[in-house]
Amino acid sequence: MIIFLVGFMGSGKSTVGQRLAGRLGYSFVDMDARLEGEHGMTINEIFEKLGEKAFREMESNLLKEMVSLQDTVISTGGGLPCTGNNMDLINREGVSIYLRMEPEALLNRLSRGKSRRPLIRHLTRQELSTFIREKLSEREPVYMKAHHIVSGLNFKMDELLEIL
């Protein structure tokens, strides 16, 4: 089985994914980290040198490779499910979990973690707040297609394990 964690930047996909994989005895793949390793560039550098469109193609291609894995937890980049038919592919090939978080909680997390994220690194707190609200309302209908929806802020591993 493949388990995909989806959700907005800062919702805790990588941390939860790693812990979940540990509990299940599964492998763990962080797609952003994998892309950085494969291309020898940080996500910031990929956006700067090749542009967002190229990044979206890279992550969609990586997703197509990922679906042949077994017993793996995969944390996806926040924009991946929203490109093309990626969310449908995720749902067809694996079990998806949306780590849901309110805009206020995301703002607090992302104000601290924005430097390695090209879409938000240059934004002031006020701009970031607006960005989160707008982007989340655009993306949430896609995230909501996930098989399971759990709280990212009050995340409880045992509850997730029970759902699965």
Chain residues in the site for ligand S3P (CB under 6 A): 9, 13, 32, 43, 77-79, 117-119
Contact 47, 78 (CB under 8 A): no
Of residues 25 and 52, the one with the C-beta less far from ligand S3P: 52
Supply the minimum distance, in Å, between the C-beta of residue 79 and ligand S3P.
3
Of residues 100 and 117, the one with the C-beta less far from ligand S3P: 117
Name the closest residue to ligand S3P (Cβ).
Answer: 77
Contact 139, 51 (CB under 8 A): no
Structure-token match 């892309």, residue found? 35
Supply the minimum distance, in Å, between the C-beta of residue 14 and ligand S3P.
6
CB burial readout 139-158, b (16+ within 10 A) else e: beebbeebeebbbbeebeee
Helix (H/G/I), strand (E/B), else coil: 29: strand
Supply the minimum distance, in Å, between the C-beta of residue 67 and ligand S3P.
18
Of residues 2 and 9, the one with the C-beta less far from ligand S3P: 9
CA distances to 81, 108, 118, 120 from 104, rounded to whole Å, are 22, 6, 20, 15
Of residues 25 and 97, the one with the C-beta less far from ligand S3P: 97
Of residues 32 and 160, the one with the C-beta less far from ligand S3P: 32
Bridge partners of 6? 98
Supply the minimum distance, in Å, between the C-beta of residue 71 and ligand S3P.
22
Supply the minimum distance, in Å, between the C-beta of residue 113 and ligand S3P.
8
- Residue 29: closest CA among 55, 4, 60, 51: 4
